[in-house]
A and B are shown apart, each in its own frame.
Chain A
Amino acid sequence: MTHSFAPLSLHPAAVPVSVDPDKCIAHKGCTVCVDVCPLDVLAIDLVKGSAYMKFDECWYCMPCEKDCPTGAVRVDIPYLLR
């Protein structure tokens, strides 16, 4: 089978989970929000030393916000649903 593939485009998306870098203690080794996310969409930015939403695949279920020990995480309703 022959197939021609178009190149992938960048697809910007406003992500629902935001992390306050001043409160986030990922640089001290905390990974709670990353650990509890059912969809595994959060990650640690090793350069900035804080967590961020890497994939726009959110169920707005809130364990990341509830379980964050410093209150750094905020879950908004994804824009498409808001």
Chain B
Amino acid sequence: METFEHVVDVLVIGGGTAGPMAAVKAKQANPALNVLLLEKANVKRSGAISMGMDGLNNAVVPGFATPEQYVREITIANDGIVNQKTLMAYARNSFAMIEELDRWGVKFEKDETGDYAMRKVHHLGTYVLPMPEGHDIKKVLYRQLKRTRVEITNRLVATRLLTAEDGRIAGALAFDCRTADFHVIRAKSVVLATGAAGRLGLPASGYLFGTYENPTNCGDGHSMAFHAGAELTGIECFQINPLIKDYNGPACAYVTGPFGGYTTNAQGQRFIECDYWSGQMMWEFTQELQGGRGPVFLKLDHLAEETIAQIETILHTNERPSRGRFHEGRGTDYRHRMVEMHVSEIGLCSGHSASGVWVDEHARTTVPGLHAAGDLACVPHNYMLGAFVYGRLAGESGAAFCAAHDHAAVDAGQVERERARVWAPLRRERGLPPNQVEYKLRRMVNDYLQPPKVTRKMEIGLERFEAIREDLHLLQAREPHELMRAMEVHAIRDCAEMAARASLYRTESRWGLYHARADHPARDDANWFCHVQLAKDEAGAMHCFKRPVEPYLVEIGDAEKTSYERLRIRAEAGPAVASASSEPAVA
């Protein structure tokens, strides 16, 4: 096993969605810069959109929505806890990004006059732009990477960021998951784009890799940012999604909704007005499951043959195409049977909820020279298009940082400690296998952190995560691939601890199911209308603190504030349905 050193200007970690965009934009901002895109898998097929995407979920298109309307909608959907400057930076750059992607060859649905064929899925506004032929979006990105001459390395797993004495970024450390060679990469600025922490809870199937997110995205970036001293935020606002049971992929009400599909309970009744994913939507979904009216289904069987055929074409060729094979195995034909849905395990993902590394409106973290974008960076509900927009901002900010800074000195101690940590599992002759440690850790995440959250349970969970911290010193890897899994367990454990600590800190309930605390059931704006930040203290331990919500750019009327709390259909159906609603959001 050897050690290699690289010196670049901008290092982008993560080659999925935001990362390639950041690399291209850094290079476009200054073609003289040496930009390295480092990927754990292979840039051609990595990340959340390895098989493409079926639509934009948050397109701010003139004539359909204004940036102000979008900022208002997401502020309300996220129960007020947003930095509107970051949302506005997204919203103002959203349309320009759509047009650029269109020029690059990404195919969006258009009407007969050539206008974008926008659809309404959100509770208030119209933001969904279908991409029925969105399966080759990774190829489009790859062409741009080649065209702008971004340097790419595949199969390198970044494990820690390098920081200088003054706290600014100095580069990153990584290892090769095929050879276990160690890499020291010096950089003037770094963009983190490692995606969600999607391998946190254990799927009900028990299959470690049967997650909603691409399981490569296991929170390495969250862990790296924390250890580099960056602030994370909203970690207690978990990602929990309504998914196809067992398959654990999206049922895709966003795709089917505009065609007439909808979510229903076992009695075939609609119980929510809007299928847009929010904490309150997940709360209502759970009420239906626990109130004896479940399971919940995606209903398509009332649609016309040609509509269903069209839906099948979109859903079975894009994003998660194996769902067709799953339905076939279960005998589920959309024409005759509704699709059984379930509640996912927890994860951390800004793309769908609001947890991640704190960034400003230029994608800058609190560590000088470190930028973040995509599912990792907290820009609430920012989805794929948000990853592209913030990827652009991060790339441009990263390039600008290079203009004003030279390479920071590398701390040899950091390199030596990390190399020892990374190679340790290979050097043990006996030890614990990574898959078992991961299984136990993630089962404990389910047992102690899955909402509704209970104080005493989360405290016990923290004890278990502390015990597993000791087990990390016993992990054994027989070869480099297993070493990758071993080091991922370290990151997953960090994320589990963050999830517990941030959840314990916020002693109220907010965001519907995402942060439903059974022993603090009420929303408490007097004490908790603020961000909860998590960072390393002087002793290296995790600590939480409050960060005030900055004054809004777009005012929210009192009547609007609660509109996402009124998702449940006020049924004529009687008391069973009516009594199940509203708590904890109203309380």
Contacts and interface: CB of A to CB of B under 8 A. Distances in A.
B270 interface: no
A62 B321 contact: yes
Contacts of A35: 42, 44, 154
Interface string A61-72: 111001100000
Given A5-B430, A63-B51, A36 B44 contact: yes
A57 B45 contact: no
Interface residues of A, number: 28
B325 A57 contact: no
B177 interface: yes
B45 A63 contact: yes
A77 B247 CA distance: 8
A57 B41 contact: no
- B215, B248, B485 interface centre (most CB from chain A within 10 Å): B215
Contact of B46 (A5, A38, A75, A77): A38
Contacts of B413: none
A3 B177 CA distance: 28
Nearest to A3: B474
Interface string B196-209: 00000000011111
Given A38-B45, A40-B155, A62 B322 contact: yes
Interface in B461-515: 470, 474, 481, 484-485
A46 interface: no
A28 interface: no
A81 B51 contact: no
Contact of A81 (B210, B320, B430, B431): B210
B366 interface: no
Contacts of A59: 209-211, 214-215
A8 B215 CA distance: 25
Contact of B50 (A3, A5, A61, A80): A61
A5 B205 CA distance: 28
Contacts of B46: 38
B42 A36 contact: yes
Given A8-B433, A55-B481, A38 B214 contact: yes
Contacts of B41: 37-40
A67 B45 contact: yes
Contacts of A82: 246, 326, 329-330
Given A57-B209, A62-B322, A39 B42 contact: no
Contacts of B209: 39, 57-59, 78
A20 interface: no
Contact of A39 (B215, B330, B432): B215
A61 B320 contact: yes
B216 interface: yes
Interface in B410-431: 430-431
A40 B177 contact: yes
A60 B322 contact: yes
Given A5-B430, A77-B325, A81-B326, A40 B205 contact: no
Contacts of B208: 57
A54 B485 CA distance: 14
A76 interface: yes
Interface in B205-245: 205-211, 214-216
Contact of B206 (A3, A77, A80): A80
A62 B51 contact: yes
**SS class, residues of chain B in contact with chain A:** loop
Contacts of A3: 474
Nearest to B208: A57
B247 A80 contact: no
Interface in B70-93: none
A33 to B, nearest CB: 10
B322 A40 contact: no
A80 B205 contact: yes
B481 A81 contact: no
Contacts of A40: 41, 155, 177-178, 481, 484
A5 B307 CA distance: 58
B329 to A, nearest CB: 5
Given A38-B45, A40-B484, A77 B215 contact: no
Contacts of B45: 36-38, 63, 67
A81 B209 CA distance: 11
A78 B246 CA distance: 10
A62 to B, nearest CB: 6
Contacts of A61: 50-51, 214, 320, 322
Nearest to A4: B430
Contacts of A67: 45
B145 to A, nearest CB: 16
A38 B326 contact: no
Nearest to A8: B433
Nearest to B41: A38
A80 B202 CA distance: 13
A77 B209 CA distance: 12
Given A61-B322, A77-B325, A38 B42 contact: yes
Given A38-B214, A78-B209, 8 more contacts: A3-B474, A35-B42, A36-B44, A36-B45, A38-B46, A40-B155, A63-B50, A78-B207
- Closest CB pairs A-B (n = 9): A63-B45, A36-B45, A38-B41, A5-B430, A80-B207, A60-B322, A81-B246, A81-B205, A57-B209
27 contacts: A35-B42, A36-B44, A37-B41, A37-B45, A38-B45, A38-B47, A38-B216, A39-B215, A40-B481, A57-B208, A59-B209, A59-B210, A59-B214, A61-B51, A61-B214, A62-B322, A63-B44, A66-B51, A66-B321, A77-B247, A77-B322, A77-B326, A80-B205, A80-B207, A81-B247, A81-B326, A82-B329
Interface of A: 1, 3, 5, 8, 35-40, 54-55, 57-63, 66-67, 75-78, 80-82
